[in-house]
Amino acid sequence: MKILVIGNGGRESAIIDKIMTSSRFGVEIYQWPSNTCLPGAIPFYPQTDDISIMLERIRPRDFDLAVIGPESPLVFGVGDHLRGKEIPVFGPGGLGAKIEGDKGYAKDFMRKYDIPTADFEIVFGYEEGVKYLEDAFFPKYIKAAGLALGKGAVKAESYDEGKRILRDIFIEKKYGHQEKAVIEEYLPGTEVSMLAFVMDESYFLLPPARDYKKAFDNDEGPNTGGMGCIAPCYAGGFPDVSEAEKDDYKKWGNVIIGNALKGFKKEGIIYRGILYAGVIVNDAGYFVLEYNARFGDPETQSLLQLIDGDLSEILYKIAVGDFNISYSVKRDHYALTAILAARGYPEKYGRNIHIIMPDTFPENVKIFPAGLRKENGKYLSTGGRILGVTSIDPDLTALKKRVYDILETISNEKTFFRKDIGSVYDKKT
């Protein structure tokens, strides 16, 4: 099977690795853009920054399957383009991906299809936003409605802070051109990433995962693309999870994923890929903060390690509309991913940091390159999140030790990593 994977971050490294290690049949994997670090993934040329030039080179039926990792190509309709060339695509078209690309649309959609979410107001411009804030209670979350690399949601503790955030969005254009913003009620609670394989009206929930979004230990510092992940993680919590808690998760999946799929059907949207809900859990229930139209990063690095099954077959079948997929989940294992980042990330950070990989490491450890390239046999950083270290184990303490031993070896004075991934478990009383 000839597969094109679009994207070159840690998530795509994990997808490619899982396809290569789980496929029962021969696979030939092309990657665009390539991070040059994955043996066996063939760079698809031209390796330009311009996706439209790359797309022009693809002829009808050139691939048996395309897997689109990141949000931008999904939102810009690359799925539709490739389907137009009779290539089965894992990932929704532009209409389906709007659930991620337009937070205003997503909030209206949730209201329309009875999906619990924070109360909100959509504002079109700075003045309208400020006027709304004059009578508002704080704290609030204020979010640029369009794509913002996961950094467009900011908490406002006061009217003045709210004004500053609106200024960043509409006047300073910190997140590029944004037509509107969502201002929503602040919801306390713990966060869970709920991901599901989706085909039209059918879905399979993956185990719940927790993404550590803040840069530093104890959830301090600025928001990042994600510094680590532990799965499974019911309600953000404890390994000895009760059956009732698992049932709750399934029940909320019926609402959060199930209602969304009914909504897509009513809106005439064909959705095949991953639907991912960022969920807050508190005493009042589960609330969707956002939907993503793709695999999460770094959730995917952890979650795929918990799956036993042929990933290329699963993705292909979903892409062609056959939901007769089979896989099993390692229910007695935890999967942990910790990210090595460049010092200064997510603000200003250096590139070309020389990363020295260990000659050998335990068999059940995966190193997933992200902002990393290989040049003349040397690994050099190209981005803020450089790589992730992932492993699985039934024993959480052994798991943490294994992952952190590797990170201690690979890291250097120009890099950093969070040392508390998975530690939510230690704190629960």
Residues 6 or more apart whose Cβ sits within 8 Å of residue 37? 13, 369, 372, 373, 374, 379
Q: Which of residues 156-215 bind ligand AMP (CB under 6 A)?
A: 184, 186-187, 191, 213
For residue 29, count other CB atoms closer than 10 A to its CB. 23
Query: Least CB distance from residue 122 to ligand GLY, whole Å?
Result: 21
Tell me: does residue 289 bind ligand AMP (CB under 6 A).
yes
Tell me: does residue 278 bind ligand AMP (CB under 6 A).
yes
Out of 12, 299, 313, 393, which residue is the one contacting ligand GLY (CB under 6 A)? Answer: 299
Radius of gyration of the chain (CA): 21
Query: Least CB distance from residue 261 to ligand AMP, whole Å?
Result: 20
Residue 159 site contact among ligand GLY, ligand AMP, none (CB < 5 to 8 Å, cut-off depends on kind): none
Q: Which stretch binds ligand GLY (CB under 6 A): 296-304, 331-339, 367-375, 388-396?
A: 296-304
Tell me: does residue 258 bind ligand GLY (CB under 6 A).
no
Q: What are phi and psi of 188, to 5 degrees?
A: -75, 160
Query: Least CB distance from residue 306 to ligand GLY, whole Å?
Result: 16
Query: Least CB distance from residue 49 to ligand GLY, whole Å?
Result: 22
Task: For residue 17, give the 3-state DSSP assignment.
Answer: helix
Residue 186 site contact among ligand GLY, ligand AMP, none (CB < 5 to 8 Å, cut-off depends on kind): ligand AMP
Tell me: does residue 143 bind ligand AMP (CB under 6 A).
yes
Taking the C-alpha atoms of residue 34 and residue 12, their distance in angstroms, rounded to an integer, is: 10
The one-character DSSP state at 35 is -
Q: Which stretch binds ligand GLY (CB under 6 A): 157-165, 236-244, 292-300, 369-377?
A: 292-300
Tell me: does residue 296 bind ligand GLY (CB under 6 A).
yes
For residue 300, count other CB atoms closer than 10 A to its CB. 32
Question: Do 67 and 91 form a contact (C-beta atoms < 8 A)?
Answer: yes
Residue 292 site contact among ligand AMP, ligand GLY, none (CB < 5 to 8 Å, cut-off depends on kind): ligand GLY
Query: Least CB distance from residue 150 to ligand GLY, whole Å?
Result: 5
Task: Please identify, using beta-carbon distances, which residue of 91 and 162 lies nearer to ligand GLY.
Answer: 91
Maximal C-alpha separation, the chain: 62
What mask of x and - would describe binding to ligand GLY in positions 130 to 159, judged by CB under 6 A? Answer: --------------------x---------
Q: What are phi and psi of 299, to 5 degrees?
A: -60, -40
DSSP string, 291-333: EESS--TTHHHHHGGGEES-HHHHHHHHHHT------EE-TT-
Taking the C-alpha atoms of residue 10 and residue 242, their distance in angstroms, rounded to an integer, is: 32
Question: Do 375 and 16 form a contact (C-beta atoms < 8 A)?
Answer: no
Question: Do 410 and 340 form a contact (C-beta atoms < 8 A)?
Answer: yes
Query: Least CB distance from residue 322 to ligand AMP, whole Å?
Result: 32
The one-character DSSP state at 176 is B
Out of 8, 34, 117, 292, which residue is the one contacting ligand GLY (CB under 6 A)? Answer: 292
Tokens describing residue 232: 């499974």
Residue 296 site contact among ligand GLY, ligand AMP, none (CB < 5 to 8 Å, cut-off depends on kind): ligand GLY
Tell me: does residue 237 bind ligand GLY (CB under 6 A).
no
Task: Please identify, using beta-carbon distances, which residue of 88 and 422 lies nearer to ligand GLY.
Answer: 422
The one-character DSSP state at 255 is I
Residue 91 site contact among ligand GLY, ligand AMP, none (CB < 5 to 8 Å, cut-off depends on kind): none
By CB atoms closer than 10 A (0-12, 13-18, 19+), residue 77 is middle
Query: Least CB distance from residue 211 to ligand GLY, whole Å?
Result: 4
Task: Please identify, using beta-carbon distances, which residue of 288 and 372 lies nearer to ligand AMP.
Answer: 288
Tokens describing residue 110: 């949730």
Taking the C-alpha atoms of residue 214 and residue 381, their distance in angstroms, rounded to an integer, is: 21
Strand intervals (E) in 186-327: 190-199, 202-205, 210-211, 214-216, 220-223, 228-231, 272-282, 285-292, 307-308
Q: Which residues bind ligand GLY (CB under 6 A)?
A: 150, 211, 226, 292, 296-297, 299
Binding site for ligand AMP (CB under 6 A): 118, 141, 143, 153, 184, 186-187, 191, 213, 278, 280, 289-290
